[in-house]
Amino acid sequence: MTSAEFKEIWLPLADRFYRVAFYILENESDAEDAVQDLLVRLWNMRATLTGVRNPSAFGITVIRNICLDRLRSAASRVTPGTDAYLGSLPDTSVDVDEALIRQEDLDRIRICMARLPDVHRKLLEMRVFENMSYPEIAWQTGLTEVNVRVKISHARKKLKKMLEDETC
């Protein structure tokens, strides 16, 4: 993969990767660092990236793993015998716990989404995870924009009901 191909494929996705990183890490500078780390990793493995069919999904998976590794390593830096020092530090374990809980919630949502009808699931994924506008979705699926809005609304309602009833 040439540098031009890399810039054309991966750099436009950096904003999407940043949003995922910020959602997990809840810190601007940490999210920016994670995205930078992702882009360096992708650049280093550019020879093997030609086989990636969905760069967005691949990148989101890698950025998610980078962020979770950062959260785990931050939690594991605490060593026994440092109680006096830790008393002066802010408690970051709450943030790590919250991030992991949010990740579990996201996993549960994805499981519920898998049980939606294919059309609803695909449209909801395009809107939420791929951050596509209604006109883009309509153009890509061949549906009218109004039809897309209605189907996404139905999908959200079904998903909400499944999550409330804990049927997934």
Q: Please give the full DSSP string across 60-101, using - where no structure is assigned.
A: HHHHHHHHHHHHHHHHHT--TT-HHHHTTS---HHHHHHHHH
Over residues 138-143, mean pLDDT: 91
Q: Give me the domains of the chain, ranges plus CATH numbers.
A: 1-77 (1.10.1740), 104-168 (1.10.10.10)
Residue 120: the pLDDT is: 92
Over residues 114-137, mean pLDDT: 88
Residue 66: the pLDDT is: 92
CA angle, residues 49, 22, 141, in degrees to nearest 5? 60
Residue 86: the pLDDT is: 47
Q: How far is Cα 137 from Cα 127, in angstroms, rounded to an integer? A: 8
State pLDDT tens for residues 5-52: 889 998 999 999 999 999 888 889 899 999 999 999 999 988 888 888
The answer to whether 156 and 164 are in contact (CB under 8 A) is: no
Residues above pLDDT 90, as percent of the chain = 37
Would you say residue 91 has pLDDT above 70? Answer: no
Residue 139 confidence class, pLDDT cut points 50, 70, 90: very high
